Amino acid sequence: MRYISTRGGIEPIGFSDAVMMGLARDGGLLLPETIPDVSDHLEAWASLSYAELALEVMRPFVDIPEDDLRQLVDRSYATFRTPEVTPVVAVGDVHVLELFHGPTLAFKDVALQFLGNLFEYILKDREQDLNILAATSGDTGSAAIYGVRGRERIRIFVMHPKGRVSPIQERQMTSVLDENVYNLAVEGTFDDCQEIMKSVFGDLEFKDQFELGSVNSINWARLLAQVVYYFYAALRVMEQTDAKRVRFAVPTGNFGDIFAGYLAARMGLPIGRLVLATNENNILARCFTAGDYSLGDVHATLSPSMDIQVASNFERYLYYRLGASAETVRVLMKSFATTGKLLLPQEEDASIDDLIVAGTGNTEATLATIREMQAEHNYLLDPHSAVGVSVGRQFMQDGEPMICLATAHPAKFPAAIEQATGKDLARHEVIDALADLPTRSDEVPADAMTVRTYMAARIALPAEPVDE
């Protein structure tokens, strides 16, 4: 399988090169040249373990020998607290896909444990080093750090918006004191962090000199790893319910998690609807209800990982939505960078997308959903997952079970749980163990040149002046 850019400015490259490149050198995002149809394999795949299924789903996309890929997959998911890796639990009228059984109790672990092992494998084969720059709105940072901490040939620099992630999310990142880990508290929003990252990666001379790579969802390998759990959940729920199709409700801010479901559907997984759920930062919901993808102010909510306006993975969807026209994508993204607004083409009386529907779960709905699920089913949802359940229930249909993605353990957001239920119910030994650990981070302004200089000094190479 070879990979191309959404903006058409690079020659096709192999999987390992795509992993190491992260963001395409023309500023676009990488996608496979073709998407395989695996619908004929679904019956055989239904009985596979998670690791066995991951091997089958990933195999068409990679250029790694099968035995090596199997070892990478097995090593990555051996770190999870349940052999199912991502179990599905029936709760009331929905099925909850629990994605929080990894080392940092968040869905990002599913991809980033694999990506950490994959990086190490490629770097050893190529005898290269890698310096990772990441931006996080909460969970990506800690999951990425835990995926690469202590590894040879890798340093990681994680930017988070100061004061805009939960205290536990911050402590999970900043309590990791390995020599190859650097935490930067950026005086701005997550969108500022993403903009800095794009600026740094867009400086190709700097990127090459300092051997930069990405673990954010702009990296294709992250999305590939996330596709697996859509197959795993759908096949199990269809087997349990005799359903022919399922629906997924996905809380999302950066469009990465739901785009993995979109890819699964294009591969032949029978998905009736993908329900896109946002909080008050509803740029994506507005896009899929009215075609209006335009920037607004970032609002602080109970689900901080979704407090995003610019969704970095939306460009991948746009590429397919516009008939795989890289030229059209390039023009629209250039216009969006200038105006902050993009209108999706839409025929009169037609939906924006036949697969994706969208809605918003505000703070009131989030708290009500947490409270109801705990009171009626003795099941705790974190606030992000509660947004997904709240919106998902608006799009239920007989014969198509609703699978709601639970993206984080509720213990990561105890204040929201107590606000909803009036009780201190959200606990986990992994979180409790963080309380007395020392932490380390550096505050920096929301300025790309400052971040460049910071990285260069710690990589022990001279920082070259950069024209902004």
Closest to 219 (Cα-Cα) out of 31, 54, 1, 55: 31
Residue 45 lies in a domain: no
Range(s) of the domain holding residue 399: 88-105+221-426
Residue 371: its H or E element:
helix 363-377
- Catalytic pick among 108, 162, 207, 412: 108
318 and 446 together in one domain? no
- d(CA 298, CA 163) in angstroms, rounded, equals 14
pLDDT, tens digit, 9 for 90 and up, residues 271-328: 999 999 999 999 999 999 999 999 988 898 999 889 888 898 999 999 999 999 999 9
Which pLDDT value is given to residue 393?
Answer: 97
- d(CA 135, CA 159) in angstroms, rounded, equals 5
Residue 460 lies in a domain: yes
The pLDDT-based confidence of 348 (bands split at 50, 70, 90) is low
Which pLDDT value is given to residue 468?
Answer: 45
Q: Look at the alpha carbons of 376, 378, 380, 381 in this order and tell me if their dihedral is positive or negative.
A: negative
Residue 193 lies in a domain: yes
Instruction: Say whether 133 sits in a helix, a strand or coil.
Output: strand
- d(CA 19, CA 99) in angstroms, rounded, equals 23
Residue 43 lies in a domain: no
Residue 7 structure tokens: 């903006």
Mean predicted confidence (pLDDT) in 372-385: 97
Residue 76 lies in a domain: no
282 and 313 together in one domain? yes
228 and 376 together in one domain? yes
169, 137 contact by CB (below 8 A): no
148 and 241 together in one domain? no
Backbone angles phi, psi at 212, to 5 degrees: -80, 145
pLDDT, tens digit, 9 for 90 and up, residues 58-68: 999 999 999 99
The structure's pTM equals 0.92
Residue 359 lies in a domain: yes
pLDDT, tens digit, 9 for 90 and up, residues 436-457: 899 999 999 999 999 999 999 9
The total number of structural domains in the chain stands at: 2
419, 374 contact by CB (below 8 A): no
Residue 65 lies in a domain: no
pLDDT, tens digit, 9 for 90 and up, residues 83-138: 999 999 999 999 999 999 999 999 999 999 999 999 999 999 999 999 999 998 87
Residue 443 structure tokens: 């505050």
CATH number of the domain that residue 308 is part of: 3.40.50.1100
Torsion of CA 265, 270, 273, 277, to 10 degrees: -60
Which pLDDT value is given to residue 298?
Answer: 87
156, 120 contact by CB (below 8 A): no
Residue 56 lies in a domain: no
Which pLDDT value is given to residue 463?
Answer: 46
187 and 270 together in one domain? no
Q: Confirm whether 108 is a catalytic residue.
A: yes
Torsion of CA 234, 239, 243, 247, to 10 degrees: -10
pLDDT, tens digit, 9 for 90 and up, residues 262-273: 999 999 999 999
Instruction: Say whether 429 sits in a helix, a strand or coil.
Output: helix
183 and 284 together in one domain? no
